[in-house]
Amino acid sequence: SRMLLLVLLALLGPAGCPRTEPLSGSSQEPLFRGADRYDFAIVIPAGAVECFWQFAHQSGNFFFSYEVQRATGIANSRNILATASDPNGFQLGASQHVRGQINFLTKETGFYQLCLDNQQNRFGFMQVYLNFGVYYDGDNVENKQLEERKELNDTLEAIGVSIRKLQLQIFHMWRFYNFARMRKGADSFLLESNYNYVNWWSMAQSCVIVFSGVLQLYFLKRLFNVQSSSRQTC
């Protein structure tokens, strides 16, 4: 996933947003479509918008999930606006929460746009974990009939179909695993923040208690000094 992140960040589009398709200098070479899925964390500066493009064929299952792992700033709000659009720019879904998912079927072949908007938080950055991509299950009538014929006529083809089904199940397990990674990262930053808060608050209370004790001793000592001096005068 680190190698995919480096490739994704290196491929910058004209607007400064990372893309999965590089600028091809030669028309003879085929375009690089990118991988079918990505998972990485990105830091979005204050008041900024980061966009990504994912290539998908028609009749695919597009998934996009995110989780804000930590946020800085005055308000310290972890809500971020996530949107997904088709190749024509039509918005297919939006989510404005700490974590969310946007899933849809790809009706046409092209590059789908995913954006994260941090413009509401203008005084701090956000670290967001992303998991997006597309998979193809081939659940149409023709493919089902073809698979059934292959299962009846050829044992090797039946094994191949079973392996593809197993790969699809493994892929969904990988998605659930990434959900767990998102929550683990966010919970880790939250625990660290609470730990530092408790330590500083305990230290401040301890200092206040010690300072109050010193002041009490000082005033008591001064009170006894004043009483002893008044008795000598009388």
The DSSP letter of residue 87 is T
Q: Does domain 33-189 have CATH number 2.60.120.680?
A: yes
CA distance 87 to 56: 10
Mean pLDDT value across the chain = 76
Q: Is the pLDDT of residue 4 over 80?
A: no
Question: Residues 113, 92: contact at Cβ < 8 Å?
Answer: no
Question: Residues 143, 72: contact at Cβ < 8 Å?
Answer: no
Question: Residues 144, 137: contact at Cβ < 8 Å?
Answer: no
CA distance 78 to 185: 14
The DSSP letter of residue 21 is S
What is the average per-residue pLDDT within 2-15?
A: 41
pLDDT digits (tens, 9 = 90+) for 38-63: 889 999 998 899 999 999 998 899 99
Provide the whole-model pTM: 0.55
CA distance 33 to 50: 20
pLDDT of residue 26: 43
What is the average per-residue pLDDT within 17-21?
A: 44
Q: Is the pLDDT of residue 18 over 70?
A: no
Reading phi first (left if > 0) and then psi (alpha if -120 to 50, else beta), residue 92 is in alpha
More confident residue, 29 or 70: 70
pLDDT band at 76 (very low <50, low <70, confident <90, very high): low
Beta-strand ranges (E) seen in 120-216 are 126-135
Q: Where are the domains of the chain?
A: 33-189
Question: Residues 49, 117: contact at Cβ < 8 Å?
Answer: yes
Among 60-69, 120-129, 141-150, which stretch is predicted with the lowest mean pLDDT?
141-150
In what side-by-side order are the strands of the sheet with 126-135? 37-44, 126-135, 60-71, 99-106
